[in-house]
Amino acid sequence: MTDLSTNTPETRSGIEIRNLYKIFGARPERYVEAVRKGMTKEELNDRHNHVLGLQDINLELPPGKISVIMGLSGSGKSTLIRHINGLIMPTAGEILYNGRDVVKMNEDELREFRRHETAMVFQKFALLPHRTVLENTCYGLDIQGIARSESEKVARKWIDRVGLAGYEDNYPNQLSGGMQQRVGLARALANDADILLMDEAFSALDPLIRMDMQKVLLDLQAELKKTIVFITHDLDEALRLGDKIAILRDGKLEQVGTGQEIVLRPANDYIAEFVREVNRGRVIRADTVALPLPPESERPAMTVKGHTVLEKVARRMSERDERRATVLDAKGQPIGIVDMPTILTAMVTPATAEDADEEENAA
C-alpha cells in the first residue's frame, strides 16, 4: 500500500480534466464537433437521438483538498465522477493524474488504478450483506491479495477511527444507515488510496446523521489530506465541505471557486438564484470583509482569526459587548478590523431586481 508519510499533497499532483465531452448514443463521436460549434442538448436529442451528458469540462481538482461537484438532478455530476476512475469513458477529452491519462489506460492499468489509487463511497452504501463489518472493511484489501492477518489489522484501525469499534462482527442489516455509511467510509480508507470519490455519499441519511458524517469526514481529512471528490446536490453541504466547488448545469460548468467566491460573486443569474437563500454568515470569513488597519493605538483589543466565519465573530462580539475586533492572519499578525455594521451588511443577501419588483407591487 502507498506510504502516505512520504506522499504529501505537496509531492502529489491533483486531477486535471481537460476538454471533456460525454455524449450517450449509438455513434457519439459523430456529434462532438457539432456540439463544439453550438449544437444544444435539446437539438442533439431531437435531431439525432443522442444525449449530451458533459460538455467541454475543464477542471483542476487540487491534491489533498475536498473538491465538491454539485448540481441539480440531471446536471451530470455523477457522470463526471465516474470518469475519474474510468467507470465511464469520455467521448473526447483527457483525465490526467500524476502525468497519466486515465482515458488511455488499458484494462490491466485501469484495474490497478482502481485498486490502488482510487476508492469510492456510494450513496446506497454498497455493503456486502453476507459479510460482517470487519469483512466488508477488508474487502478492498482482499482484492489486492493482502493476507487476512494483515488486512484485519488495517481494517480494525479504520473501523475504530470512524467510531464503530465493537461492531466488527455485526452484519449490515444490524446497523443504522449512518453506521452503514461509516463502514463504507472505513472500507474506502482502508485501501489507503490517494483519491477518494464520494458520490452523494450522505444523501440517503437523516439530516442530523448527515451532519455528523460531514464532521467525521472533515476531522479525518484534517489529518489524512486525501484528494477527495465529493458529489452533492445540497449547497449547504457543498459549502461546509468544499475547499473548491464546481457547479454543473445540464452538463456544463457554470462556476468554479471557493464557497466565498461563489456566494459573494455569482457568475450569472442561475448561480445567484442558487445561492440566494444561503446563510452568508456561515460562509463569509472575517478576513474577507476586514477594513484597513487603523493606527496601532486605535486597534480594538478584541481579536479574531481571519478564517472565522462572520456568524461566530458576531456571536463572540455580542457576548463580550464589543463593536469592533482586530483580524489576525494565520501567523497571528493583524491584517485589518471588523465592526458590527460591516458584519451585518455582509450577512444580508443583496436585493435582486425581482425583490424590487415585488416591493413595488406590494406598495
Q: What CATH number does residue 217 fall under?
A: 3.40.50.300
- Is residue 140 within 8 Å of 114, Cβ to Cβ? no
Task: Calculate mean pLDDT across residues 231-258.
Answer: 94
Name residues whose C-beta falls within 8 Å of residue 278's C-beta, 6 or more positions apart in sequence. Answer: 235, 236, 239, 263, 349
The count of domains in the chain is 2
Task: Calculate mean pLDDT across residues 310-334.
Answer: 95
- Is residue 86 within 8 Å of 105, Cβ to Cβ? yes
Beta-bridge partners for 244: 67
Lookup result for grid cell 488486512: 151
Average pLDDT, the chain: 90
Q: For residues 282 and 314, what is the distance between their CA atoms, to the nearest angstrom?
A: 11
Residues 205 and 312 in one domain: no
CATH number of the domain within which 335 lies: 3.90.1280.20
Residue 4 in domain? no
Name residues whose C-beta falls within 8 Å of residue 148's C-beta, 6 or more positions apart in sequence. Answer: 138, 142
Residues 338 and 221 in one domain: no
Residues 337 and 239 in one domain: no
Task: Calculate mean pLDDT across residues 265-270.
Answer: 93
- 99 phi-psi bin (left φ>0, alpha ψ -120 to 50, beta other): left
- 304 phi-psi bin (left φ>0, alpha ψ -120 to 50, beta other): beta
Residues 222 and 336 in one domain: no
**How would residue 205 be classed by pLDDT, with cut points 50, 70 and 90?**
confident
Residue 77 in domain? yes
95's enclosing H/E stretch is strand 92-97
Residue 353 in domain? no
**How would residue 3 be classed by pLDDT, with cut points 50, 70 and 90?**
very low
Query: What local confidence, expressed as pLDDT, does residue 339 receive?
Result: 95
Residues 238 and 331 in one domain: no
Residues 205 and 330 in one domain: no
Residues 290 and 267 in one domain: no
Residue 256 in domain? yes
Residues 230 and 338 in one domain: no
Residue 211 in domain? yes
Residue 93 in domain? yes
258's enclosing H/E stretch is none
Residues 19 and 50 in one domain: yes
Residue 352 in domain? no
Beta-bridge partners for 24: 51
Q: For residues 67 and 86, what is the distance between their CA atoms, to the nearest angstrom?
A: 18
Give the domain range for residue 58: 15-117+193-274
- Is residue 116 within 8 Å of 108, Cβ to Cβ? no
Residues 269 and 303 in one domain: no
Give residue 294's identity as a one-letter amino acid code: P
Q: For residues 259 and 246, what is the distance between their CA atoms, to the nearest angstrom?
A: 10
Tell me which long-range contacts 343-349 makes (C-beta under 8 A, separation of at least 24).
Answer: 343/281, 343/289, 343/310, 343/313, 343/314, 343/317, 344/314, 346/280, 346/284, 346/288, 346/289, 346/310, 347/280, 347/281, 347/284, 347/310, 347/311, 347/314, 348/280, 349/276, 349/277, 349/278, 349/280
Instruction: Return the closest-CA partner of residue 263 out of 287, 238, 232.
Output: 238
Query: What local confidence, expressed as pLDDT, does residue 196 receive?
Result: 95
Residue 137 in domain? no
Query: Quick check: helix, strand or coil at residue 165?
Result: coil
pTM, full prediction? 0.86
Residue that finishes a domain, picked among 274, 297, 319: 274
Query: 53-62: per-residue pLDDT in tens?
Result: 999 999 999 9
Task: Calculate mean pLDDT across residues 326-335.
Answer: 94
Whether the pLDDT of residue 356 is over 80: the answer is no
Residue 214 corresponds to which cell in the numbers above? 460531514
Residues 255 and 288 in one domain: no
Lookup result for grid cell 455580542: 318
Residues 288 and 341 in one domain: yes
Query: 14-54: per-residue pLDDT in tens?
Result: 999 999 999 999 999 999 999 999 999 999 999 999 999 99
Query: What local confidence, expressed as pLDDT, does residue 1 receive?
Result: 42
**β-bridge pairing 324-328 and 51-61:** unpaired
**How would residue 6 be classed by pLDDT, with cut points 50, 70 and 90?**
very low
